[in-house]
Chain A
Amino acid sequence: MSELKIIGKPIPRHDAWEKAFGLTCYAADFTLPGMLYGKVLRSNHPSARILSVNTSRAERLKGVKAVLTAKDVPRNESVTRFGQTHAVGGGFEGLYRVLADRKVHFMGEAVALVAAETEEIAKRALELIQVEYEPLPGVFDPIEAMKPDAPLVQEGRSNIITHYEVVKGDVEKGFSEADVVVENTYRVPFVDHAYLEPESGMAWIDEDGVITIRVSTQVIEHFRGIADVLNLPHNRVRVIGTYVGGGFGGKEDITVEAFLALLTYKTGRPVKLTYTREESILSHSKRHPYVMIYKTGAKKDGRLTALQAKLVSDAGAYVYLSPWVLLYSMVNAAGPYRIPHVKVDGYTVLTNNTFTSANRGFGAPQVCFAYESQMDELARRTGLEPEKIRMMNYLEKGEALATGQVLERHVALKETTEKVIEALEERTSPSGQMRIGRGIASGMTSYGRMVFLHDTSRSHVSIEMDGSVTIRAGIQDIGGGQASSLCQITAEILGVPIEDIKIYIADTALTPFAGTTTATRQLYMSGNATLMAAREVRKILVHKAAGMLGIDPESLDLVDREVIDKEGTGKGLPLKEVVRACASDGLPLYHVALFKAPFRNVAQFERIEGQVFPDFTFGTHGAEVAVDEETGRIQVLKLISSFDVGRAINRLSVEGQIEGGAIYGMGYSLTEEVILNQGITMTPSFSEYLLPTSMDVPDVETILIESGDGVGPFGAKGVGEPSVCSVAPAISNAVYDAIGVRIYDLPLTPEKIVRALQSKVKAEGYL
Chain B
Amino acid sequence: MEYLRPQNLKNALHLMKQWKKKATLIAGGTNVIPDLRARAVRPEVLIDISHLKSLAYIKEDKRKIHIGALTTVSELASSKIIEKWAPLLSHAANQLGNPLVRNRATIAGNLADGSPAADTAVPLLALEAIVVIQGGKEKQVPIHQFFVGPNQTVLKRDEMIKEVIIPKFNPNAKTAYFKLGLRNSMAVSVVSIAVLMEMEKTFCKKARIGYGAVAPKPIRAYRVEEMLENKELTERLLRACCETIGKEISPISDIRASKEYRTEMASVLLKRVMKRVTQ
Contacts and interface: CB of A to CB of B under 8 A. Distances in A.
Contacts of B185: 693-696
B242 to A, nearest CB: 11
B145 interface: no
A499 to B, nearest CB: 36
B182 A754 contact: no
A696 B184 contact: yes
Nearest to B187: A690
A95 interface: no
Interface stretch (B2-10, B155-163, B199-207, B253-261): B253-261
Contacts of B271: 630
B182 A671 contact: yes
Given A675-B255, A687-B188, A630 B182 contact: no
Interface residues of A, number: 19
Interface string B251-279: 00001011001001100100110000000
A631 B255 contact: no
A754 B255 contact: no
B180 interface: yes
Interface in A688-709: 688, 690, 692-696
A695 B184 contact: yes
Contacts of B183: 671, 690, 692-693, 695-696
Interface string A631-674: 10100000000000000000000000000000000000001000
A754 B261 contact: yes
Given A693-B185, A694-B185, A754-B264, A633 B180 contact: yes
A750 interface: yes
Given A693-B184, A693-B186, A694-B185, A688 B255 contact: yes
A630 B184 contact: no
Given A682-B255, A683-B255, A631 B186 contact: no
A675 B186 CA distance: 19
A692 B185 CA distance: 9
A267 interface: no
A172 interface: no
Contacts of B180: 631, 633, 750
A630 B255 contact: no
Nearest to B271: A630
Interface in A467-510: none
Interface in B184-225: 184-186, 188, 190
Interface string B150-178: 00000000000000000000000000000
The main secondary structure of chain B at its interface with chain A is loop
A631 B265 CA distance: 7
A118 to B, nearest CB: 15
Contacts of A671: 182-183
Given A630-B268, A631-B265, A751 B258 contact: yes
A468 B82 CA distance: 62
Contacts of B186: 687, 693
A442 B262 CA distance: 36
> Which of A682, A692, A695, A751 has most chain B Cβ within 10 Å?
A751
A749 interface: yes
A687 B98 CA distance: 12
A633 B186 CA distance: 16
A693 B95 CA distance: 13
Contacts of B255: 675, 682-683, 688
Contact of B268 (A631, A688, A694, A695): A631
Nearest to B183: A696
A683 B257 CA distance: 13
B182 A749 contact: yes
Given A675-B255, A683-B255, A687-B188, A750 B182 contact: yes
The 5 closest A-B pairs by CB, nearest first: A695-B184, A693-B185, A695-B185, A751-B261, A630-B268
Given A693-B186, A694-B185, A696-B183, 17 more contacts: A630-B272, A631-B265, A633-B180, A675-B255, A687-B188, A690-B183, A692-B183, A693-B184, A693-B185, A696-B184, A696-B185, A750-B180, A750-B182, A750-B190, A751-B257, A751-B258, A754-B261
21 contacts: A630-B268, A630-B271, A631-B268, A633-B180, A671-B182, A671-B183, A675-B255, A687-B188, A688-B255, A690-B182, A693-B184, A694-B185, A695-B185, A696-B184, A749-B182, A750-B180, A751-B257, A751-B258, A751-B261, A754-B261, A754-B264
